[in-house]
Structure 1
């Protein structure tokens, strides 16, 4: 799978990965932005397979039911209960506590549409699970996935979000008009 993904990602699509996902860290949050197109998921899966690091994602539990649930699991999905009575952040922190190895990719924007500010769940998951955040960017301008070094959160939320903004501010998304690169909080 890795060789096929790498061929499609690099030779057919012409993309590359700059930076690297830490292989020695068994647990961290991966935030991927800007998330402005349906293409992002496919590019991310190909990039993940190309570099050979197991990175999971979450999705609503109903997607994991037959007949197609096995596909979502095979692609690294973990089901979560998204009912109003459950606390999603606590549920995901529990997954981190239960698993020996878990790298979770999330879109901090929470949608492919324009948002005034990011969702903060990823931040509180990282805090609750005591894991670093690895940022990656979909840079369609340079046809690259740009990966940052792990970032360990501080006790200054605004400073942390300014750090994230600095990483993403010059990235060219698939649809630039849908990315807010001025303010994240």
Structure 2
């Protein structure tokens, strides 16, 4: 009987996704994904901390590539939810630092990986699922110059959100908005 209930839930979830998302989307300035905090670059401008760096694995011209970028928007899409199930998908809109060309290729000396941040690429493909992202920090590289940043990967150390009661992997701050500009209410 337990299998039948799970099967019905999966069937309802797939039906909800096939109905397209609600046209009213929520824009967030910050969110927590699996206990890791992410901020948009606009929110970061008002803070002393950096939480907008993202890394995702992908391919460029058939070659495995790590895409480094910065988070510009957090978008929550709602799907055919009811009182029992809250179905959402959280997307990150990112600007990806270009690695195309010899002048912008990633520099790796065995200890540090450095990227050039003066150009962006994949402007027509800016979205990833929030759960696909990995956190990175960018530190100025004094050796290579102004447009180069050393990439520091973030390693999660068993952080827990005690107040979170939902069984979801993504938790948004209460500083969201339903308007198009994403300004806090």
TM-score using structure 1 length: 0.23
Larger fraction in helix: 1
| Greater strand fraction, Structure 1 or Structure 2 | 2
Q: TM-score, normalised by structure 2?
A: 0.23
Which structure ranks higher in relative contact order (CA pairs < 8 Å, sequence separation ≥ 6)?
A: 1
